[in-house]
Amino acid sequence: MMHRLLRCARLVLLLAAAPLMASAQTAPRPLVWGDTLPATLDPHAIFDVPSQFILLNVYDGLYRYQGNPPRLEPWLAESHTVSADGLTWEFTLRAGAKFHDGSEITAEDVVYSFRRLLAMRRAPAAAFTPVLTAEAVTAVNPRTVRFVLSRPYAPFLSALPLVAVVNQRVLAPHVAGDDWGSAWLAANSAGSGAYRVNATNYQPRVSLDLERFPDHFSGFAGNPRPIEAVRVRPVLETSTRVLALLRGEIDATDSYLPADQVERVDRNPTTRVARDESMRVFIIRMNNQRPPFDNHDVRLCLAHAFNYEGFNNVVLRGFVARNAGPNPNNLWGNPENLAPYAFDLARARTHCDRARAAGVDLSRPIEIHVQNELQQTTQAAQLFQSDLRRIGINLRIVPNTWPNITSATARAETTPDMWIHWVSTYFVDPENWIGQMYDSQFHGTWKASSWYTNPRVDTLLRAARESLSQEERQRLYAEATALVVADSPDIWVYNTVNLRGLSRRVSGYSFSPVGSGGEVRLMSLEN
């Protein structure tokens, strides 16, 4: 009876939907990108993982990361020189590169872009403000731009891809007071990238339509069938995102496909999962300035009490790679044969007992804050909770959100006992990980939220930041990493394998840890 009713309902709906389904099938589908949109389209206002999609497709920078492992390649710049003291950098611009309005990109545009970035002092500026002032960026001639740093800063070149070059002529009429046109640029574009924004259809965090810019300087080399139109339609719920991919409503999910969905997406004849080792380290933080974490034995106890293999290989089904320290395994700057902490409850108990004998109070409940919307952080905390209970430590899981936790990390007193997060690739240099996580000058930022202090590590990291010799930097970072790992200020769990669900009609998808494979210029589409 029930089956008959369901069959009847299906028939009625089929008849009602038939004309429309026919019309929808005839129209060619653009690329539908289901990843998250940033809060603003202004490339100088924010820098997070979603904003990299805008940076890579709508704008160009002087240099760009390509491939995996990421190679730093000349982009709007065709070459550069650096003075012997490491302070003066000169970049020669590629001839003939154009903005979307057809005007040529000049050194003055690069100068304007950096001055805008430094004046707005928003997130992407953080990498430059300690060493660069607005007056120190000048145009030597229409094709040469000069930067004079206040002190040597080795990661300068690595951080350059963070900065988009914007078209000052397009922006100028929309500048209101001292806002540098940010209100207008939040919903429009002034770039030169391979795709331009259709601002009429833009709805913040809901939809963004991009059309191909045929005059892009790259000429879409190596891609005979570039995609003409892109529709970015972020899907809020994970389950809906997966279903939408399976059904063909979107062509790509975000790059955090849950491990338990991988098999399902791969099994579907029209979809696949792109697996790429990234540079994104999963970390359980400890507030080293708050008892009991100010005790080395307690930190070692906790480092041995996390079931790395169970979490990585069973919960995450082996889609991640164990990471021994703060830098991703696949980055330079790690010491040779760096051994990861092993899950060993007997050793953990020994360290905890030693701490108790030294008078450390381990009886109070320890709070671990997880990011509510990111299931993995809760799974890791639950696994940790059950093992810690076996050695007499009471772990209390506190659901929270990223903004709440990161704002709490501004002071040691408000930083949680423990919390879980990832450190993604903002630029490819150990400075992005160990440099900004364990140099005490960064205390008060979320990256340095373990409040770790070791004067020797500070000295090594600062020397590595200023050295212009790659061999010396490698040696300094390796030594600093060995010291940090021995001190065990945090628990480093794995390096991410990015999992992005893709429609099989998408080809040419090329992953790079910077941008997580969101560069549409390289892709083609079968309709």
Partner 1 sequence: MALYILRRIALSIPALLGLILLTFVLSRVVPGDPAATLAGDAATPAQIAQIRAQYGLDRPILEQAVIHVRQVLSGDLGNSIFSGRPVAEEIWQRLPATLELTFVALFLATLFGIGLGLVAALDHNGPLDHLVRVVSVGGLAIASFWLAIMLQLQFSMEWNLLPLRGRLDVALGQVPRLTGFMLFDTLAAGRPDMFLDALRHLALPAFTLALPGLATIARFTRSGVLEVLQKDYVLYARAAGYGRFRLAAIYVLRNAVTVTVTQVGLLFGALVSGAVAVEAVFDWPGLGTYAVQAILSADYKALLAVTLVIGVVYAVVNVAVDVAQAVIDPRVADQ
Query: Which residues form the interface with partner 1 (CB under 8 A)?
Result: 10, 13-14, 17, 19-20, 23-24, 27-30, 32, 39-40, 42, 45-48, 121-127, 129, 182-183, 186-187, 200-201, 203-207, 209, 231, 233, 235-237, 239-240, 243-244, 246-247, 249, 373, 401-404, 406-408, 410, 424, 426, 442, 444-447
Smallest gap from residue 36 Cβ to partner 1 (A): 10
Smallest gap from residue 527 Cβ to partner 1 (A): 10
Contact in structure between 503 and 482 (CB atoms under 8 Å): no
7: which strand partners? none
Q: What DSSP string describes 60-105?
A: --SEEEETTTTEEEESSEEEEEE-TTS-EEEEEEPTT-B-TTSPBP
Smallest gap from residue 332 Cβ to partner 1 (A): 21
Paired tokens of 78: 């065709």
Smallest gap from residue 5 Cβ to partner 1 (A): 13
Q: What is the 3-state secondary structure (H, E, C) of 327-371?
A: CCCCCCCCCCCCCCCCCCHHHHHHHHHHHHHCCCCCCCCEEEEEE
**By C-beta, is 16 or 357 nearer to partner 1?**
16
Paired tokens of 166: 């914007």
**By C-beta, is 330 or 372 nearer to partner 1?**
372
Q: Comparing C-alpha atoms, which of 195, 267, 191, 146 is closest to residue 31?
A: 195
Smallest gap from residue 294 Cβ to partner 1 (A): 22
Instruction: Identify the DSSP state of 1.
Output: -
Paired tokens of 461: 């990291």
Burial of residue 108 (number of CB atoms within 10 Å: 0-12, 13-18, 19+): middle
Smallest gap from residue 61 Cβ to partner 1 (A): 16
**By C-beta, is 246 or 320 nearer to partner 1?**
246
| Torsion from C-alpha of 152, 155, 161, 163, nearest 10 degrees | -50
**By C-beta, is 126 or 148 nearer to partner 1?**
126
Question: Do the bridges between strand 137-141 and strand 144-148 make them parallel or antiparallel, or are there none, so unpaired?
Answer: antiparallel
Smallest gap from residue 204 Cβ to partner 1 (A): 5
**By C-beta, is 425 or 495 nearer to partner 1?**
425
Contact in structure between 358 and 295 (CB atoms under 8 Å): yes
**By C-beta, is 258 or 335 nearer to partner 1?**
258
Question: Residue written as tokens 């000429």?
Answer: 219
Angle ∠(49,52,53) on CA atoms, nearest 5 = 110
**By C-beta, is 125 or 302 nearer to partner 1?**
125
**By C-beta, is 105 or 235 nearer to partner 1?**
235
Smallest gap from residue 300 Cβ to partner 1 (A): 30
